[in-house]
Amino acid sequence: MAVNTPHKVAILLCTYNGERYLDEQLNSVLNQTHTNWRIYASDDGSNDATLNILEKFQAKFGIDRMVILSGPKNGPTDNFLSLILSVDGDCEYFAFCDQDDVWHDEKLCRAVKVLIGLEFEVPSVYCSSTRYIASNGRFLQYSYVFKREPSFKNALVQSIAGGNTMVFNRMAKDILSRTPKLQILVAHDWWLYILITAYDGYVHYDKTPSVDYRQHSNALVGENRSINSKIKRILMLLDGRYKRWTDQNIKALDTISNELPLHSKQTFDFFKKIKSSSFFVGVFIFIYSGIRRQTFMGNAALAIAVLIKRF
């Protein structure tokens, strides 16, 4: 059943050569039971039919439903952040949207119900687990469901939800918009999780999937449950990629660390000391700090990363 409420959602859609799946994604937005939304589509220089698909949608439904912008042409993370800076006006909530997924009909409705029940002055994010599908739409499996409460101590070492599931309020958007323009980030969704928990915001993790997350050769991030995916993540740890990612996150956080609440700043200082200290001191600080991933195996891998200085 369609629900028309005064709470408008800005859907932040980033596209690049997405003609194969874009129609299906747009149709899943049209099927949302929460009907008060506007799409802001930022195209990053597509050379296929992506722009034509966006323009046809705009011509059919009007500029009140679709605004088309040109992206910075520097990858999806910069494209999403450019949208954050471009969108303003009458929207209360903001939703990241990938070009190749399929939203469940109740996605926005569930997210808005959570967010309107929270204090307006608190930066807040809704996110969820996902349902993995193949390139042809065939169901594969469900993503791992995390059970620990989201926190800054977790966010420093792990991203728990894809940006394609995230919906957030204006306070969260305003914090995200203060990210330095030239700052290199690992991923916009991980950065949002880090920021909101660092500022004592609220992250609601919905264990029920809200998105069909398509797995194909061009997907930037894949599923997290299969043996292959676990091996891939271990290899990323061993070859130094995970260390590079945490180093990038530290550089980004350093730009705002003086603004953080005292306890978040202390946790961040512990995090940096783990990475810079000698073997025994680093291990001690790691145990004492409470910085943890969501699962036993994840923490075991993190402990190994600390031990072999790949953290």
**128 and 38 fall within a common domain:** yes
How far is residue 56 CA from its own chain's centroid? Answer: 28
Instruction: Show which of 173, 189, 214 is a domain's final residue.
Output: 214
* One domain, residues 177 and 238: no
64 in a structural domain: yes
Please name which of 273, 301, 300 lies closest in space to residue 286, comparing C-alpha atoms. Answer: 273
Domain that holds residue 236: 227-307
pLDDT at 226 (0 to 100):
55
Q: Is residue 85 part of a domain?
A: yes
1 found inside a domain:
no
Residues 69 and 187 in one domain: yes
Q: What is the pLDDT, as a whole number, of residue 241?
A: 83
pLDDT given at position 148: 94
161 and 288 both lie in a single domain: no
Question: Which residue, of 180, 214, 248, is where some domain finishes?
Answer: 214
Tell me: do 163 and 268 sit in the same domain: no
Question: Could you tell me if 104 and 203 lie in one domain?
Answer: yes
Q: What is the pTM of this model?
A: 0.92
Same domain, 147 and 284: no
- Per the structure, the count of domains in the chain is 2
Residues 146 and 42 in one domain: yes
Q: What is the mean pLDDT of each run of 10 residues along the chain (311 residues)?
A: 82 97 97 97 97 97 95 94 90 97 98 93 97 94 94 96 97 94 90 98 97 76 55 65 91 94 96 86 88 89 80 76
- Residue 106: give its domain's CATH number: 3.90.550.10
Answer yes or no: is 143 within a domain.
yes
Do 189 and 66 lie in a common domain? yes
Do 294 and 159 reside in the same domain of the chain? no
Assess whether 250 and 283 both reside in one domain: yes
Q: Same domain, yes or no, for 15 and 113?
A: yes
The verdict on residue 220 lying in a domain is no
pLDDT at 261: 96
Domain end: 167, 186, 214, which one?
214
pLDDT at 10: 97
* Assigned domain for 222 exists: no
Give domain status of residue 37, yes or no.
Answer: yes
